[in-house]
């Protein structure tokens, strides 16, 4: 359908106004406030019925009063482009959600490995103490690695990592 710009404006004005739940009287009131002059709701009716041409300042003010870009009221392509952008963003969101799920699973897997290794470390320590209590310390982990593992385990278990619980507290 090849509409004239005025016809397209009239149709899109009504669509946007109704979509936003704004009455013709309310739109006329908003436009009057923005224009600083009287603007009767019958003018909106006549514009939408295409029995009255819209002036440029009225078109700009109507868009402002509705809180939409003027292009929304003068172009069918804007709606199609807007819909295409929404679809693009939804596709990007779906990909981001997939990536998030993949990373969540990876974190879960790593956490399980850390828990397993920590349990094995504790079992090894207990065994070392049983075999030879004097050399049990020879099997200790590097203090930095042990601290990192312990901190990660506290995070996984949801325990507080506040420093007040440390030695001397």
pLDDT of 166 strictly over 50:
no
Residues in the chain: 169
User: Per residue in 82-126, pLDDT tens?
Assistant: 777 788 888 999 999 999 999 999 999 999 999 998 898 888 877
| Global confidence as pTM | 0.47
User: Per residue in 59-90, pLDDT tens?
Assistant: 999 999 999 999 888 887 666 667 777 888 88
As annotated, the residues of the chain forming the CATH 1.10.260.40 domain(s) are 5-74
In angstroms, the CA 140 to CA 121 distance is 9
Domain 5-74: which CATH class? mainly alpha
Place of tokens 């069918």: 76
């Amino acid at each position: 359908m090849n509409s004239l710009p005025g016809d397209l404006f009239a149709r899109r004005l009504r669509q946007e106004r109704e979509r936003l739940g704004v009455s013709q009287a309310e739109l006329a009131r908003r436009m009057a406030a923005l224009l600083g002059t009287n603007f009767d709701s019958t003018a909106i009716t006549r514009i939408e019925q295409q029995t009255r041409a819209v002036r440029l300042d009225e078109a700009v003010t109507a868009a402002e009063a509705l809180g939409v870009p003027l292009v929304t009221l003068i172009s069918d392509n804007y709606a199609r482009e807007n819909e295409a952008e929404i679809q693009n963003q939804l596709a990007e969101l779906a990909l981001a959600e997939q990536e998030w799920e993949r990373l969540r699973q990876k974190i879960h897997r790593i956490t399980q490995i850390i828990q397993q290794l920590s349990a094995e470390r504790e079992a090894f320590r207990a065994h070392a103490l049983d075999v030879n209590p004097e050399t049990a310390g020879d099997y200790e982990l590097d203090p930095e690695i042990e601290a990192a593992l312990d901190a990660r385990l506290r995070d996984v278990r949801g325990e507080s990592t506040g420093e007040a619980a440390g030695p001397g507290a």
